[in-house]
């Protein structure tokens, strides 16, 4: 028998408890051992049927030698980080869905886990229930990973989908997402790209083997995307998607960014709608593979947490540790090295500034407005330099 303590019984945590209690037999069969939920740590009240497991003091978990696995579904980096460290140091494996902690402190926590001979797993931290961490670290292990790109945030993908399909403005689509519970009351982590940024960092850590901090990765959200841009993109056969990207350069450094992109409608990523997520991985042997599914939600995310619990149980003490090396300024390079075509919306004669362009039109265009896609690939600073003196309203990368 293995004992699990769940810390944080919010949306994901309560889903973990429900799955562990609701599938006892099939989980025991897969794990090779019975898995018991011994404690649920939360300051809030719990449903009556879980009350006998309810604790409010972390040290109970820390000091109970029977607890083998701690599930951290608290969120945030304060207590969640402290309790994770202390649980690992106490020789307990930790499973988490907390992307903020993994992105900022994964390297250190992996090291502690390795020293203590326990596991620190976080399949649920990226892509909700979509299997991506394990496929990337194990199934694609024979590849040098060349590029990652993904729709990593369901909230912004929902907002963009509604702008594209229903013609809602950004503000209207955001309000609808909040009503439906897809966006939080303070949506800034989603709409400013910070959530996607944490996720591309975690994927990069695994894919490239060195720590990349969210602070090293420029993140641009979707607050600047207008219906005019959506229309022009549509006229070019493209959709606007918020992508997290990480591209390995010839010198081995990683160029990572989060930004809206114009994605061709024939690209599999363009078909990823609503709150769905997708992650495309390009490797030197495999070519491109893509993983697609619900990137958030109670049970999808909880099922990824429970899969990690089962994995630890079934390999008792012998699961190979996940790890990557410390980061540094030499790991990443400026987002500006990434050349691409650009979509530009502005006032006046854009082709005079940019040279060869594909001009775009739309109904209801403002009189002075024009828009185009450059034919030449260039860095952002090259594009900005060419556009000196032009009134630029939007400047968005084109994914080729």
3-state secondary structure of 335: helix
Q: Identify which of residues 24 and 60 has a Cβ nearer to its own copies in the complex.
A: 24
User: Which residue of the set 38, 199, 298, 386 is catalytic?
Assistant: 199
Q: Distance between terminal CA atoms of the chain?
A: 52
Angle at 19 between CA 13 and CA 21, to 5 degrees: 100
CA distance 82 to 307: 24
Work out how close the CB of 68 gets to its own copies at its nearest, in angstroms, rounded to a whole number: 16
Work out how close the CB of 29 gets to its own copies at its nearest, in angstroms, rounded to a whole number: 8
Q: Which of 45, 58, 66, 60 is nearest to 84 (CA)?
A: 58
Tokens linked to 222: 């979707």
Work out how close the CB of 340 gets to its own copies at its nearest, in angstroms, rounded to a whole number: 23
Contact 88, 112 (CB under 8 A): yes
Work out how close the CB of 79 gets to its own copies at its nearest, in angstroms, rounded to a whole number: 26
Work out how close the CB of 236 gets to its own copies at its nearest, in angstroms, rounded to a whole number: 19
Place of tokens 């990480």: 246
- Element (DSSP H or E) covering residue 291: strand 287-294
Q: Identify which of residues 68 and 220 has a Cβ nearer to its own copies in the complex.
A: 68
Work out how close the CB of 134 gets to its own copies at its nearest, in angstroms, rounded to a whole number: 5
Tokens linked to 93: 């494996």
> Residue 186's CB: how many other CB atoms inside 10 A?
9
CA distance 366 to 347: 9
Instruction: Please say if 30 is a catalytic residue.
Output: no
Work out how close the CB of 126 gets to its own copies at its nearest, in angstroms, rounded to a whole number: 12
Q: Identify which of residues 47 and 268 has a Cβ nearer to its own copies in the complex.
A: 268
Q: Identify which of residues 296 and 353 has a Cβ nearer to its own copies in the complex.
A: 296
CA distance 255 to 332: 6
Which positions lie near its own copies, rule CB under 8 A? 15, 19, 23, 26-27, 29-30, 32, 123, 129-131, 134-135, 138-144, 209, 268, 271, 283-294, 297, 299-300, 302-307, 309-311, 314-315, 318-320
Tokens linked to 312: 């630890």
Provide the H-helix boundaries in the chain. 11-22, 24-31, 58-63, 79-89, 99-116, 133-134, 154-166, 170-179, 188-191, 194-208, 227-235, 298-314, 350-354, 380-386
* Residue 241, phi then psi, degrees to nearest 5: -130, 145
CA distance 129 to 277: 10
Contact 12, 74 (CB under 8 A): no
Q: Identify which of residues 31 and 360 has a Cβ nearer to its own copies in the complex.
A: 31
Q: Identify which of residues 40 and 309 has a Cβ nearer to its own copies in the complex.
A: 309
Q: Identify which of residues 9 and 344 has a Cβ nearer to its own copies in the complex.
A: 9
- Catalytic residue annotation: 199
């Amino acid at each position: 028998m293995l004992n699990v303590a769940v810390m944080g019984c919010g949306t994901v945590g309560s889903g973990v408890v429900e799955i562990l209690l609701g599938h006892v037999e099939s989980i025991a069969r897969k794990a090779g051992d019975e898995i018991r939920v011994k404690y649920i740590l939360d300051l809030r009240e719990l449903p009556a049927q879980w009350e006998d497991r309810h604790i409010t003091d972390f040290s109970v978990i820390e000091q109970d030698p029977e607890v083998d696995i701690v599930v951290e579904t608290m969120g945030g980096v304060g207590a969640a980080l402290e309790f994770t460290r202390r649980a690992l140091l106490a020789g307990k494996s930790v499973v988490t869905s907390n992307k903020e902690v993994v992105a900022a402190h994964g390297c250190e926590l992996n090291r502690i886990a390795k020293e203590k001979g326990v596991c620190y797993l976080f399949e649920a931290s990226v892509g909700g229930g979509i299997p991506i961490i394990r496929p990337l670290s194990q199934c694609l292990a024979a590849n040098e990973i060349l590029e990652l790109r993904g729709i990593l945030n369901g909230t912004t993908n929902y907002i963009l989908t509604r702008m594209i399909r229903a013609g809602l403005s950004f503000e209207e689509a955001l309000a609808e997402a909040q009503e439906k519970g897809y966006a939080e009351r303070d949506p800034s982590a989603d709409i400013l790209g910070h959530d996607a940024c944490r996720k591309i960092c975690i994927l990069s850590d695994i894919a490239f083997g060195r720590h990349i901090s969210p602070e090293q990765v420029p993140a641009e959200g979707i607050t600047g995307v207008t219906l005019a841009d959506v229309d022009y993109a549509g006229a070019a056969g493209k959709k606007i998607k918020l992508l997290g990207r990480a591209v390995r350069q010839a010198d081995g450094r990683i160029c990572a960014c989060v930004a809206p992109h114009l994605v061709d409608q024939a690209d599999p990523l363009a078909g990823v709608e609503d709150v769905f997520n997708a992650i495309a991985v390009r490797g030197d042997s495999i070519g491109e593979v893509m993983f697609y599914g619900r990137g958030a939600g109670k049970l999808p995310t909880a099922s990824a947490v429970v899969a990690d619990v089962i994995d630890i149980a079934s390999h008792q003490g012998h699961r190979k540790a996940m790890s990557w090396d410390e980061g540094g300024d030499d790991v990443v390079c400026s987002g500006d090295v990434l050349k691409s075509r650009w979509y530009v919306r502005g006032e006046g004669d854009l082709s005079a500034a940019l040279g060869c362009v594909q001009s775009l039109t739309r109904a209801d265009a403002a009189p002075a407005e024009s828009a185009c896609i450059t034919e030449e690939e260039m860095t952002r600073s090259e594009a900005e330099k060419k556009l000196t003196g032009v009134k630029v309203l939007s400047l968005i990368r084109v994914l080729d």
